[in-house]
Structure 1
């Protein structure tokens, strides 16, 4: 069914990003690196709001589809665990439901790609079941049926490309502990639909880590 847990949190992510145009730089757009962009839905949303977007995904198939759809981002097939990222460059780095496909310590590469004062947002997946997930299950069922019915009535439902599936292997307490160790000052907030939001803002006046 077409209800997408990641899409559900796009507005939350946008609220946590800096404005597209910095007040001190008229005519300049803030830069965003979107990791694991898939077919580029969130990357296009960022570009439509005025951000300059680099979007990476290791899958040739989904990057081909993202380029076909266009919309402004610079789409590139790349594995962020091996790719040389520009240091202290991006105003924001986003990573939606893809961190569990790579070592958690990859967040240090994303941190180092942030310009001083930049923001890292990870919408992640966690292993295990919490009491919050008991609330998520019926809400998830209702949302999926509602969205599916609306799409069918509009005649616009098209099955999406299936991304690689990998079950997360870190529970929330482990994620919080590793985030605190690798990204001092970060926060990890549990969300509905088996997701968490990791937020980190790089201190001003710092380069690298």
Structure 2
């Protein structure tokens, strides 16, 4: 039953886009669903992912959806890519930071334009009692959400399209616990805000005030 935890938070992430945002970078874009939502706002979007298969699917969907106004998808590993300094008004990472050394956020920070915003929808392993309490709370909500999506799709008779949408980029299990994420982020992204979300996620928001 297809319920995507990352997609669930798209609207929350879009609320972090700064006013008059013109340029954005989506890191670990997968098949491009969030990059498409940014492009729908009239933003010029660069979207990168190390999976060539995912980028190929993202490009195909971009061609169908937005034509020349779609995101620019490129297969690239952000840890080996030189990003333009002070360029992007908005940078997003959806469930991708745990695929790379956390210190990579420093390069993303430096790629922000003055007033730019970096948002990370991150994953973390359950290590503390509080982690397990949030996980336990998420289980019944997750089950209800999955059932609701399943029923909606059945009623919409959209099985064929959904099969394409279920294609996923490679996944990895997170290893850095949330307390360590908070400590390292405080050094690399001073002034950032981190809050725990349901569905085994956290939201990090950093604003470049330079």
Does TM, scored on the shorter chain, surpass 0.5?
Answer: yes
Structure 2 unaligned segments of length 5 or more: list them. Answer: none
* Cα separation, 2, equivalents of 1:130 and 1:203: 35
Equivalent residue, structure 1, for 2:50: 58
- Of stretches 157-166 and 73-82 in structure 1, the one that deviates more from structure 2 is 157-166
**Aligned partner of 2:97 among 89, 96, 99:** 99
Asked whether 1:35 is paired with 2:27, we answer: yes
Equivalent residue, structure 2, for 1:6: 6
**Aligned partner of 1:125 among 90, 102, 123:** 123
For residues 147-158 of structure 1, the aligned pairs below 5 Å read: 147-157=149-159, 158=162
Q: Higher helix fraction: Structure 1 or Structure 2?
A: 2
* Cα separation, 1, equivalents of 2:188 and 2:92: 17
Asked whether 1:17 is paired with 2:17, we answer: yes
CA contact (8 A) 2:30 2:55 kept: yes
Tell me the CA shift for residue 165 of structure 1. Answer: 1.9
Helix, strand or coil for the counterpart of 1:81?
Answer: helix
CA contact (8 A) 2:54 2:168 kept: no
Equivalent residue, structure 1, for 2:76: 78
Helix, strand or coil for the counterpart of 1:167?
Answer: coil
Tell me the CA shift for residue 131 of structure 1. Answer: 1.5
Helix, strand or coil for the counterpart of 2:169?
Answer: coil
* Cα separation, 2, equivalents of 1:64 and 1:11: 25
Asked whether 1:47 is paired with 2:39, we answer: yes
CA contact (8 A) 2:30 2:168 kept: no
State the superposition RMSD in angstroms: 1.1
* Cα separation, 2, equivalents of 1:146 and 1:48: 26
Equivalent residue, structure 2, for 1:167: 173
Length-normalised TM-score, structure 1: 0.91
Length-normalised TM-score, structure 2: 0.90
After superposition, give the CA deviation of every residue in 1:43-91 in whole Å (9 maximum; x if it has no partner): 0011011111000011110100111111310111100000111011000
* Cα separation, 2, equivalents of 1:36 and 1:105: 16
Equivalent residue, structure 2, for 1:184: 190
